[in-house]
Amino acid sequence: MNKKLMLSLSYIFGALLLLINTPIIVNFIINNFIQDPNPAILDKNFISSIQLLVGMGLTILGLFLLIKLLDYKDTKKTKQGTSYMAEVEELKSLLGDDGFVIAKDIKLALKTSYEHVAIIGPTGCGKSSSFFMPNLLELNGEVSAVVSDPKGELHDQTKEHLETLGYNIIKLEPFDAFMRYNPILIAEDDTELKEIAQLIMINGNKSYELGTGGSSGNTEWLSMSEPLLAAALIYVKRKGKRKDMKEVKDIVINKDFNEMMKTFSEVPEAMQEFMMFAQSKGAEKTMSGIKVTLANALKLFNDKKMQVFVETPYKKVDEDGVIKLVPQVQFLFHPKILRDIPTVLFICVPERKSQFAMPLMSVFYSQLLNKCM
C-alpha cells in the first residue's frame, strides 16, 4: 500500500481513538491525580468541552501534517543525485498518446520521449520485449529510427513488419558486413577529418589500454600523433585511390618521416597538419614511439572484417577498352538517408566486441549525430 496513505489512515485511526476515549482519560486523571476534585470538573459539559478542544487540536495537527506529507518526497540524497520512485499522479504530466510505449496501454507524450528515456535492467529481464519491440512496432512509417541491436534480434523480429510500412531497413554489422561505412567519404571538410583523427586516437588508445591493461603511450606521443593522423586523413580524402582507412594506416605506419613529407607536400592542408607534427620537439627521433602509439590506436583496422566494413566497394567497368573502378554507392551507408527517407537503422555490434570496435563506433556515432541533428 502507498506509504503516504498508510500514514494518513494511521493518524486518522489514532486521532479517532483518542477523541472517543477522551472522557475516560479525563475521568482517570481526575480520579487518580486530583484530591477532592471540584464538582464542576466532573460535570459532563466540562468533559465535553475538553473533548471538543482535543478534537480541534487533533484536526489542526492533522491538517498541518497532511500539508507536510503532501510535500514530502522519499529521497535519499547521495553524490549521485536525489532520485526517488515517482507516484502515478506525478507521471500524468509526462504521458500522452503519441510517444514511447512504456507499459501496457501507457505511453509517454511525444515531447517527453524526445527528452530521453533510460531503460535500466539486467540481461534477460525483458527490456527488448517490453520496450524496444513494442516501440519499433508502433512506428508510423513517417519517422526514422536508429536502433542499437547487439544480437540482431530486433532486426530479425521487426524487419518484415517495418517493410510493410514502407520503411527502408539498413542493418550495419561491422564484423559481418554487407552494407559498408566509410567515414572518410562522409566527412565534408577538413575540420571533420581532424575530429575523426581525435576520436580515433582517444578511443583507439583507450580500447588498447582496456584490452591489454597496459599503457598505449604517453600523453606527448598522443598529442603528436593526432596531427599526423589528421594529415593522412586529409591527404587520402583528396588524393587517395580508394579513400579508406587502410590507405591512411599504410601511410602513417609504413612510410618514414621523409616519405610522409614528400607525400603530404602534394596537399597543402595535409602538409600544414604534418608540419604541426614535425615542429614538435624531436619528431624524427621519437617517430618509432609515435608509430607504436598510432599502431595501437589503429589496431582495429588490421582486422580483415573491419577493413571490408570501412572500404568502398568498387565495380570494374569497361569504358571503351579502359577499365575503371566505379564505387558502388548503394552499398555505402550515409547518415543523410535517415533524413531523406523513413529509415530504420539497426547497428549490430556484439557486446563482447564493443570495446574492440570503440575507435570506429565513436566516429560513427559522432558523424551520425552531426549529420542528423
Is residue 264, in this structure, part of any structural domain at all? yes
Radius of gyration of the chain (CA): 35
* Strand (E) or helix (H) holding 23: helix 22-33
Shared domain for 67 and 198, answered yes or no, is no
Separation of alpha carbons 272 and 268, rounded Å: 6
Domain boundary among 33, 55, 71: 71
Shared domain for 64 and 192, answered yes or no, is no
Share of the chain above pLDDT 90, in %: 38
Shared domain for 67 and 187, answered yes or no, is no
Listed in sequence order, the DSSP H helices in 240-319 are 245-254, 257-264, 268-278, 287-297, 304-310
Separation of alpha carbons 298 and 266, rounded Å: 24
Domain boundary among 71, 97, 126: 71
Q: What is the pLDDT of residue 228?
A: 94
Shared domain for 191 and 339, answered yes or no, is yes
Is residue 129, in this structure, part of any structural domain at all? no
Separation of alpha carbons 247 and 233, rounded Å: 9
C-beta neighbour count of 94 within 10 angstroms: 17
> Do residues 161 and 145 touch, judged by C-beta distance below 8 A?
no
Shared domain for 188 and 64, answered yes or no, is no
Strand duo 145-148 + 168-172: pairing: unpaired
pLDDT band at 283 (very low <50, low <70, confident <90, very high): low
Averaged pLDDT, 33-56: 68
pLDDT at 74 over 60: no
Single-letter amino acid, residue 13? F
Most confident of 48-52, 109-113, 327-331: 109-113
Q: What is the pLDDT of residue 55?
A: 76
Separation of alpha carbons 227 and 198, rounded Å: 9
Is residue 78, in this structure, part of any structural domain at all? no
Domain boundary among 71, 104, 124: 71
Q: What is the pLDDT of residue 50?
A: 74
Separation of alpha carbons 208 and 294, rounded Å: 11
* Strand (E) or helix (H) holding 83: none
Averaged pLDDT, 311-330: 78
Shared domain for 66 and 192, answered yes or no, is no
Is residue 44, in this structure, part of any structural domain at all? yes
Residue 64 domain boundaries: 3-71
Between 275 and 75, where is the model more confident?
275
Is residue 158, in this structure, part of any structural domain at all? no
- Sole residue written with cell 514502407: 166
Q: What is the pLDDT of residue 123?
A: 80
Separation of alpha carbons 117 and 120, rounded Å: 10
> How does pLDDT run across 7-25, given as a tens digit for each residue?
777 778 777 877 777 777 7
Separation of alpha carbons 231 and 248, rounded Å: 9
How many structural domains are present in the chain?
Answer: 2
Is residue 168, in this structure, part of any structural domain at all? no
DSSP 87-125: PHHHHGGGEEEEEEEEETTEEE-HHHHTT-------TTS
Separation of alpha carbons 336 and 372, rounded Å: 7
CA distances in angstroms from 371 to 187, 241, 333, listed in the order given:
10, 25, 12
Is residue 360, in this structure, part of any structural domain at all? yes
Q: What is the DSSP letter of 281?
A: T
User: Would you call 148 helix, strand, or coil by DSSP?
Assistant: strand
Q: What is the pLDDT of residue 198?
A: 94
Q: What is the DSSP letter of 267?
A: S
**Residue 189 zone, left/alpha/beta (φ > 0; ψ -120 to 50; rest):** beta
Backbone angles phi and psi of 96, in degrees to 5: -165, -160
Is residue 145, in this structure, part of any structural domain at all? no
> How does pLDDT run across 130-170, given as a tens digit for each residue?
888 999 998 888 889 999 999 999 999 999 999 999 999 99
Separation of alpha carbons 371 and 250, rounded Å: 28
Separation of alpha carbons 287 and 278, rounded Å: 10
Separation of alpha carbons 308 and 300, rounded Å: 12
Separation of alpha carbons 159 and 173, rounded Å: 15
